[in-house]
Amino acid sequence: MDPEVLFRIVDVAGVIAYGVIGASLARKLEYDIIGYLTLGILTALGGGMIRDSLLGVGFPVALTDPWYLAGAIGASAFAYLVPLDGPWARRGLTLADVLALGCWSATGAAKGISAGLAPIPSIFLGVITATAGGVMRDALVRQTPAIFGSNPLYATISIAAAGIMVIFQQHDMYEVGMGLAILLCLIFGLAARRFNWILPVRQMNLLADSRRILRREHVTNLRKFSRRKDSK
């Protein structure tokens, strides 16, 4: 199969999966059909629309490619009619989710490089493409965005995938970069959910930690000095 066709399938499948995932939240919150459509479309297309608006390269692709808006609307309507809470449905959505994470992270990063941006801004665009829709969805319903902590790695994997794409895009190896980005998100995205890999959430305080260490060393030195004095 032509790699471009495969990437296109993953891309559109991601739109549908994100639309279903966003609309499924509307079911939990007991929204009406407008709520389903709003959350589904926002989740599926929000990140890409922000990316294209930041790049200023014309109309967002979500408005010019008929598969995008149709896929998001269709997925939202389907989630409204059919509750997808069975184990196989969840597994299918999870698989499509991590595949789309890699595809969209790489796509956003590649568009940044093609527009003449430096690697770091291009990686930023990749992460925005893949995660901003979910962040806006959560903020809209007054929930803490899922990527902000205590959940399996997601944005971190997106950063890695976008970084891989930037490296290969700079060497004119678009298809290799896209494939590796999708593969990385597939492997590590599924592993993060299976083994609950999360970033540490402990509050860091370097000043307090350094004071504690100095105090401990000071007490230890005093004890050593006291023992030497007693031995004399």
Residues 71 and 73: their CA atoms lie apart, in Å, by 6
pLDDT tens digit sequence for 20-40: 999 989 999 999 999 999 999
Looking at residues 216-225, what average pLDDT do you find? 65
pTM: 0.84
Task: Name the pLDDT band for 160 (thresholds 50, 70, 90).
Answer: very high
Q: Among the ranges 10-19, 91-100, 118-127, which has the highest mean pLDDT value?
A: 118-127
Contact of 127 with 185, CB cutoff 8 Å: no
Query: What's 204's DSSP letter?
Result: P
Q: Is residue 226 within a helix (H) or strand (E), and if so which, with residue range?
A: helix 206-231
Is 70 exceeded by the pLDDT of residue 127?
yes
Residue type at position 192? A
Contact of 183 with 102, CB cutoff 8 Å: yes
185 against 200, higher pLDDT? 185
pLDDT tens digit sequence for 135-148: 999 999 999 898 88
Contact of 127 with 158, CB cutoff 8 Å: yes
Q: ∠ at Cα 40 (34, 45), nearest 5°?
A: 125
Buried residues in 164-176 as b, exposed as e (16+ CB within 10 A)? bbbbbbeeeebeb
First to last CA, the chain: 84
Length of the chain: 232
Closest CA to 189 of 84, 83, 93, 108: 93
Looking at residues 42-65, what average pLDDT do you find? 93
* Distance, CA of 229 to chain centre: 61
List the chain domain ranges.
Answer: 3-201, 206-231
Is 70 exceeded by the pLDDT of residue 229?
no
| Cα distances (angstroms) measured from residue 64 to each of 70, 93, 161, 163, 232 | 11, 25, 26, 27, 87
Confidence at residue 216, expressed as pLDDT on a 0 to 100 scale: 72
